[in-house]
């Protein structure tokens, strides 16, 4: 059974607006040896795209515990919504959530993004920062 | 990398809370990304794998979203506050580093609001403010 982080990562990869960006960490199975592995994605001299680098692993998914990957995911969300200023904030429940642990399901992070269709701000919640980002990527118009 | 970005990079690495993180892009000379090897030592991709650790003339490239993600992590660590984030205030047209510890309002450190013209600058200002903590 995949871990929560892996399940979230796979949701990200399944989004139509998903693509691998330089600096992301891809996790997956080594195609030759069959063991779990990871790679930091980078395009090399235009001869290999980031996607091709990630696909060196079987069924790659982004490592959402990696700060650089989260930064790239925020960039993807901004691109997907056409809002370069979309931002993520912790809610006032953040600290309560931290103290109560993982069994708490109250959203602790909210992504604020301008909806290009309605020109109003949408607030997309998530229990973790990564989950709110992925929910935003999934909901992108 | 523009001169403004280089200046911002220099300000960042002068901070007490600065360190190179796995995934940051060096935009000064090498234009390569730091990655951790199997033992966790940083090395520059495709440059010189025998050299471990950051080069003294490296400068972070804050036009790179992965590097900005790492910078945010550094600010959270330096301020010991994992709820820190940066956002744009439309009326001011500027970015501010904020924290939920202060009910989502602008973060005050030693009486200062942590404003910047860009997201990265607001975070660097926060890292500089963390020097005094």
ipTM of model: 0.90
pLDDT at B106 over 80: no
Q: What angle do CA A19, A132, A125 make, to 5 degrees?
A: 150
Helix spans in chain B (H): 3-13, 65-78, 119-129
pLDDT number for residue A45: 59
Look up residue B49 and give its two tokens: 């794998």
What is the pTM for the complete model shown? 0.90
Minimum Cα–Cα distance from B88: chain A residue: A85
- The tens digit of pLDDT for each residue in B42-93 reads 877 666 666 777 788 899 999 999 999 999 999 999 988 888 899 999 888 9
Look at B34 and A113; give whichever has higher pLDDT: A113
Chain B stretch 60-119, residues whose beta carbon is closer than 8 A to a beta carbon of chain A: 64-70, 72-73, 82-83, 85-88, 98-101, 103-104
- The dihedral through the CA atoms of A52, A54, A60, A64 has a sign that is negative
Give the other-Cβ count within 10 Å of B45's Cβ: 15
Nearest residue to B40 (alpha-carbon basis) of B48, B31, B52, B50 = B52
Question: What residues in A contact B73, CB-CB < 8 Å?
Answer: 67
Helix spans in chain A (H): 4-14, 50-54, 67-81, 94-100, 129-139
Question: What residues in B contact A67, CB-CB < 8 Å?
Answer: 21, 23, 69-70, 72-73
pLDDT number for residue B56: 82
Q: Is B22's CB within 8 Å of A40's CB? A: yes
């Amino acid at each position: 059974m995949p871990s929560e982080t892996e399940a979230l990562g796979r949701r990200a990869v399944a989004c139509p607006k998903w693509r691998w960006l330089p600096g992301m960490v891809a996790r997956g199975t080594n195609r030759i040896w069959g063991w779990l592995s990871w790679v930091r994605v980078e395009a090399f001299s235009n001869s290999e795209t980031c996607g091709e680098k990630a696909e060196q692993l079987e069924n790659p998914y982004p490592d959402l515990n990696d700060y650089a990957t989260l930064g790239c995911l925020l960039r993807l969300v901004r691109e997907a919504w056409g809002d370069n200023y979309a931002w993520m904030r912790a809610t006032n429940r953040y600290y309560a959530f931290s103290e109560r642990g993982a069994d708490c399901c109250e959203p602790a992070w909210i992504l604020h993004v301008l909806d290009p269709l309605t020109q109003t701000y949408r607030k997309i919640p998530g229990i973790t920062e990564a989950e709110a980002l992925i929910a935003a990527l999934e909901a992108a118009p | 990398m523009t001169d403004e970005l280089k200046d911002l990079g220099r300000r960042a690495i002068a901070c007490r809370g600065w360190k190179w993180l796995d995934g940051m892009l060096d935009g000064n000379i090498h234009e390569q990304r730091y990655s951790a090897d199997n033992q966790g030592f940083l090395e520059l991709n495709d440059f010189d794998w025998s050299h471990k650790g950051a080069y003294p003339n490296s400068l972070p490239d804050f036009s790179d979203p992965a590097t900005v993600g790492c910078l945010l992590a550094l600010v959270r660590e330096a301020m010991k506050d994992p709820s820190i984030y940066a956002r744009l205030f439309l009326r001011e047209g500027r970015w501010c580093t904020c924290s939920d510890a202060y009910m989502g309002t602008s973060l005050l450190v030693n009486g200062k609001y942590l404003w910047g013209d860009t997201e990265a600058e607001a975070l660097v200002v926060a890292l500089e403010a963390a020097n005094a903590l």
